[in-house]
Amino acid sequence: MSVKLSTRQVGDVSVLDVAGRITLGEGSSALRDTLRDLMSKGHKKILLNLGEVSYIDSSGIGELVSGFTTVANQGGQLKLLGLTKRVKDLLQITKLYTVFDVHDDEASAVRAFS
Amino acid sequence: MGKKTGEVQTVDQFLDSTLESVDSAEDLVLDVAQKAGFPEEDLHKIGMAVRESMVNAVVHGNQYSAHKKVHVSVSKGPDRLTVTIADQGKGFDLGTVPDPLADTNILRHSGRGMFLIRAFMDELQVRRLSPLGTEVTLTKYLGRK
């Protein structure tokens, strides 16, 4: 399995559950397409649940950054939920950890959307 | 293909310029690294460095050309793992790669590959090949924090 994506609504927040590998090719393009689809349908509060992501490469990091900036440019917010240690470490060494609003708990993440 | 010279064992392959080759190279190197005794966390770092180097070779170096190969060589010595990845592309100047940690670059979509390779391996060497190509050599030492 490369990557599995599923979307659900919690109030007015769209939660995108991601599982598997976000790497160059199928994984990163699937994430990009799903985020674009959500935005094209007017969803502006997006919570990216990365709790089941086993692997992410620089292309996957790039998709996270692109998603974050695109949503923000459209007046929305993208937050991250449930980072594994490896993903957290990657965001820290690339100095992106403080760029994203990161949460460990879904309920508090949903509340954080203003 | 494999050969054993003294205590150094080398395995090498010529791979097509495809994303499937990125997976193949990672699997090849991780198999050798696992047998060499690297711990799980180092295996992850080695695998990721190889993946990023292969993406550079396939995508930026050979530009997916069906006529160009990527040469992957992995050597296991008594205290280290050495991986060499060579493409047949036009090459690049490492000095022109922007610093992904600079404030002006932090939100760029791409440009973090070389940085991650440096972060995850103990040594990185890059050299231009004649007439065409770039060769990167990655080294990871056993037992080094």
What pLDDT sits at residue B95?
Answer: 80
In a domain, A100, yes or no: yes
In a domain, A41, yes or no: yes
Residue B23, CB half-sphere, CA atoms under 13 Å: how many?
A: 11
Whether a cis peptide bond, with omega within 30° of 0, leads into B131 is yes
Q: What is the tally of structural domains in chain A?
A: 1
Residue A56 lies in domain: 3-109
- Residue A37: C-alpha distances to residues A43, A46, A92 (Å): 9, 12, 28
**What residues contact residue B5 under an 8 Å CB cut-off, 6+ apart?**
none
- Fold topology of B2-141: Heat Shock Protein 90 (3.30.565)
Segment B72-96 shows an average pLDDT of 92
Q: What is the DSSP letter of A7?
A: E
Amino acid at B128: R
* Element spanning A66, H or E: helix A58-73
Closest residue in A to B107 (Cα–Cα): A65
What confidence tier does B55 reach under pLDDT thresholds 50, 70, 90? very high
Enumerate residues 1 to 60 of chain A having a beta carbon within 8 A of any beta carbon in chain B: 23-25, 57-59
Helix segments in chain B, DSSP class H: 19-36, 40-55, 113-120
The pLDDT tens digits for A7-55 are: 999 999 999 999 999 999 999 999 999 999 999 999 999 999 999 999 9
CB contact under 8 A, A65 and B19: no
Angle of helix B19-36 relative to helix B40-55, nearest 10 degrees, comes to 150
Q: What is the DSSP letter of B62?
A: S
Tell me the pairing of strands B69-76 and B123-128.
unpaired
**Partner residue opposite A94 with nearest CB, options B51, B55, B112:** B112
**Mean pLDDT across chain B:** 93
pTM of the entire predicted model? 0.93
Residues across chain B: 145
Q: Are A37 and A71 in contact (CB under 8 A)?
A: no
User: ipTM of this predicted complex?
Assistant: 0.91
Domain-wise residue ranges, chain B: 2-141
CA B145/CA B72 separation, integer angstroms: 26
**Is the per-residue pLDDT at B13 higher than 60?**
yes
Strands, DSSP E only, in A1-114? 3-10, 13-22, 45-56, 77-81, 102-103
Strand partners of residue B83: B74, B138
In a domain, A114, yes or no: no
Q: What is the CATH number of the domain that holds A70?
A: 3.30.750.24
- Phi/psi region, residue A95 (left: phi>0; alpha: psi -120 to 50; beta: rest), is left
**Is the per-residue pLDDT at B5 higher than 70?**
no
What pLDDT sits at residue A1?
Answer: 56
CA A96/CA B15 separation, integer angstroms: 34
Give me the percent of chain B exceeding a pLDDT of 90: 86
What pLDDT sits at residue B8?
Answer: 80
Give me the percent of chain A exceeding a pLDDT of 70: 99
Closest residue in B to A57 (Cα–Cα): B48
**Is the per-residue pLDDT at B6 higher than 70?**
no
CB contact under 8 A, B110 and A94: no
Q: Which residues of B touch A23 (CB under 8 A)?
A: 51
The pLDDT tens digits for B88-127 are: 999 877 788 899 999 999 999 999 999 999 999 999 999 9
